[in-house]
Structure 1
Amino acid sequence: MGTRLRRLPGLVAAVAAAVATTGLLWRPSGRPVGVVTPRGRTAELAGSGLYAHDTVFTAAGNTAVDAVVLAFGVPLVVTAWLQHRRGSPRGSLLLTGALGYLLYVYANYALGVAYNPLFLAYVTLLATGLAGFLLALGTTDRAALRAVAADPAVPHRALSRFLLASAAVTAVVWLQPLLSALATAGTPDLLDVYTTPVTSALDLAVVAPAAALAGLLVRRRDPLGYLVATPLLVTIVLLLPTIALSTALQAAAGISFTVPQVVGPIAGFGGLGVVGLRLLTRLLRAVPAVPPVDPVEPSEASDERSHV
């Protein structure tokens, strides 16, 4: 398992970098294409570029995600991977966070992005990201996590409350349009040409329950809570640049926003991102940056002296 983890994160980082670079370079070059959805509504597709068959709104958002993956996600995986290879408990824990973030991104891509020539690459990243994430979870130093749980410098209560609040906010944000659609016998906003809201499904089925579970475990000072919390914190922190850049690219593509629609998400997720970054930093500082040194047994020490 350790040998695989010494190689697999490098593969994930390389493929993710290639995929993100392709998305950034292969941008729409023409006018949007208007279509009628199977539900009888009108929508505008990007019409060209890698995301030609995605809506203008989604294509701009995908471009923002590609930029954040290339600027932050891939370097984070590589940095944590190199630290992990040196035996750093902090690097191993951070690696779970970085791989968890890429797993979340490419689960959305493989399941939600309109089919394009990189579909098999998305599937590859989903498979390798999941394998790497599970292996990283299994190789994280449990003794280091127990030390974190017992460290008074870690803001345990604040971390627990933040995770529980993040779970609640995620549930409310995604349930509101879904429940409204049910009440009006319609479809959720921005569903457009898509058959199902994949991000809503992943966030409600996986992210929100995981955040709630991590919050409850951290409240009990259970070491597992800090392990589950790390990929959630990394993802929350990287939401801030993603949403800010998405909004800018969508506005440049002609999507109209009201002032509250622009300020609200950026301010809201910006606040979560800042708080999440502080909590993630405090958590990682409590984990040793270098591998522990095994003490030399007395018998081994005497044997060494006898050979001098």
Structure 2
Amino acid sequence: MLDVRRLQVLRAVVNSGSVSAAADNLGYTPSAVSQQLGVLEREAGLPLFEKAGRGIRPTEAGTMLAERARKLSEILTETEAELAERRAGRTGVLRVRFFQSAGIALIPPAVAGFRARCPDVRLDLGMREDGLLEQLVEGAADVAVFVVGREVPALSGIRVTHLIDEPYRLVLPEGHPLCAQDPVDLGSLAGESWVQESFTQGPCAESLQDAFAAAGITPNVTLEPDSPQAAQGFVAAGLGVSLIPRLGLDPVHPNVAVRSLRKPEPVRRIHVAVRESVARLSSTRILLETLSEVAG
């Protein structure tokens, strides 16, 4: 394989017209330049120079390689400049993954704020409910906004930080007796029927289970809908009450009432995970700052 550094020596000789002039320009000795040219000729398998009077001139192969060396030099210069821009976080792509309800009121304003500050960095956005951290571990994403249950995951090469504790809100059908209270004690809901998303497994389920245990009640879950919007619809129809994270209440169904909770107030712990390889980029830092500002 041709050596890029030797190609640049060849280019210097062709441009200057002599080995000695190229040696002066490069800071080498003439013998070192001649040695590099000899190795390059063996790599190329063709003579690169021929005698011309007292000097030398490039052969057709030597002229072609000198031109290619020029193009390679331009490519390397552009690459170094682009890498410097990426290190500074001014260009490139950040692949961001997030769960569904974060895409309602958290991610959109954060993206808008980020683009105002980093207009030349492209965000590759993707929404999914499962496997967010796996995407980072596999190198398929750079940043993930996800929900943590009882334990914060510790993964090699992944930096995890807390973003916000998002409170759950109690959603009641219009006319329910508890609509007159705000906040509502969680323990006072012992006799209710529940329309509750994500209660049996997953990080959200763990948070809810711990909250119900602290309130001393075991909820009678009659239906597990697959989205906050569906849960609101069933509550509006009078089929039960529900706890829905604040982000899942945009918009609020017109036929429900929303109340805060206490003793305890259940929360959904939202964290952000970043691959270590991009964590030091200024664009990553700005994205995390923007997410934190919006969440707050």
Q: What TM-score do you get using the length of structure 1 for normalisation?
A: 0.22
Query: Which has the larger share of helix?
Result: 1
Query: Which has the larger share of strand?
Result: 2
Q: Which has the larger radius of gyration?
A: 2
